[in-house]
Amino acid sequence: MNYYEIDFKELLGAPDPQSSDAVLLNPDKFIFEPSQAELDDFISQVENAEQFVGANAENVGIIVDRRIDNTEEARLKGFDFGVQYYHDTRFGNFGYGLLGNYQSKFELTQSGNVVNQLAYTPDMTATANLVWSRNNVRARLTFNYTDEYDADPGLAINQDKVDSFFNTLLFVGYDFDSNSGITEGLSLRFNVDNVFDEDPPEYLRDRQLNYSATGFSLGRVFKLGLTKRF
């Protein structure tokens, strides 16, 4: 198990013109009562400058530079954990594993305002697996889990929660043991992604449909593979 604490500086973002702290933290992004020269210079830098031809500085109280810049900060804390166990039996070799992440803190500083993002992201994701092998045959079952979390009331549309998600993946492989002939170095593999065809939880945010899940979430998919080593 590993504990981590990460402070991010100068993340990409833009100042919030509604925040007084944004003015104090990013004074270069605000021009109050600009002169005509300052207004003309700023207009010359924007892509749609033609829309502002003839703009008079006397009619402009403030210019806010909302272009993306390194203005944000974030602080994360949590645990990465994992355990694996293998043992031999007369039926073959078995292995069991559990890997995951648990977030205990996720704070995002935007324009000087600290926002707790932990409620609006899954605080735990985990993957468990069961593996088995005997002679030339290998098999693995993988289970992925994403915890439920709150929908951001400032972004979500008619939604309070984003449901948890659990899906299953299956892998079976066979290695031919021939030392010569066409099967030398030949392996077969078969995968089923999202075995039970589980639909990922929907998150209607900013009028766009989003999905947030750990593991394959596009529906049940069958894959057959062939590998030949020379």
Give a yes or no: residue 100 inside a domain: yes
Residue 45 falls inside a structural domain: no
Highest mean pLDDT among 12-16, 31-35, 145-149: 145-149
pLDDT digits (tens, 9 = 90+) for 103-144: 999 998 876 677 788 888 899 999 999 999 999 999 999 999
Residue 156: inside a domain: yes
pLDDT reported for residue 95: 97
What is residue 212's predicted lDDT score, i.e. its pLDDT? 60
Question: DSSP code of 181?
Answer: S
b/e for 189-211, b at 16 or more Cβ within 10 A?
eebbbbbeebebbebebeeeeee
pLDDT attached to residue 102: 96
Structural domains of the chain, count: 1
In a domain, 178, yes or no: yes
Is the residue at 91 inside a domain?
A: yes
User: For residue 93, which amino acid is it?
Assistant: N
**Would you state the pLDDT for residue 70?**
75
Phi, psi of 122 (to 5 degrees): -65, 125
Mean pLDDT of 131-158: 90
- Is 172 within 8 Å of 189 (Cβ atoms)? yes
Choice between 99 and 114, residue whose per-residue pLDDT is larger: 99
Alpha helices in the chain (DSSP H): 20-25, 36-43
Range of the domain at 133: 2-6+77-228
169-181 mean pLDDT: 86
Q: What's the pLDDT band for 1 if we cut at 50, 70, 90? A: very high
Whether pTM exceeds 0.75: no
DSSP label of 35: -
Cα 174 to chain center, whole Å? 34
Rounded Cα gap, residues 124 and 81, in angstroms? 11
The two tokens of residue 19 are 């925040």
* Residues with Cβ within 8 Å of residue 12, at least 6 apart in sequence: 68, 69, 70, 71, 72
Which is more confidently placed, 189 or 178?
A: 189
Specify the range with the lowest mean pLDDT, choosing from 7-16, 174-183, 194-203, 209-218: 209-218
